[in-house]
Amino acid sequence: MKVKQLTVFLENRSGRLAEVADILGQAGINIRGFSTTEAAEYGIVRLILTDPERGRELLHDAGFTTHFSEVLCVKVDDVPGGLAGVLEQLAAAGVSIDYLYSISFWNICFAVRDIDRAVELLKDKVRLLSDAEVRAL
């Protein structure tokens, strides 16, 4: 079904994404799904929020540039080829896909500039997943 997505544009500097998450968390707004895209000087964060209108208002007031759009959220069968079946139906009808991301689990992959340091910082605070654990999800 159609779901309201909030896109936030941010400077590509340390702490800016944490600021977005903190503003939303302090307001009791839960992030149900997200995607990030990087560029040289800025980043794009796409968010599915429990209260998108309030989230946009708070982030705008904090100086962030935001934009609403609609995305299609689909429950894909968790079987080999499940995603392919959906993609093939869209392709056969000539419906192009700009991007997609998963919103199902809170197992998150971070691409960081210093992975060893990130592991040391987080190893006693959250459960880190091994390659084998991720492949077995």
pLDDT at 106: 63
Does some domain include residue 135? Answer: no
* Run of H or E including 52: helix 52-61
Does some domain include residue 130? Answer: no
Average pLDDT, the chain: 87
pLDDT at 67: 97
Q: How far apart, in whole angstroms, are the C-alpha atoms of residue 133 and residue 137?
A: 6
Residue 5 has pLDDT above 70, yes or no: yes
What is the extent of the structural domain holding 94? 2-110
- The angle formed by the CA atoms of residues 105, 90 and 31, to the nearest 5 degrees, is 25
User: Are the beta carbons of 45 and 36 closer than 8 angstroms?
Assistant: yes
pTM attached to this predicted model: 0.80
| Residue at token pair 């091994």 | 130
CATH number at residue 35: 3.30.2130.10
Does some domain include residue 60? Answer: yes
Domain count, the chain: 1
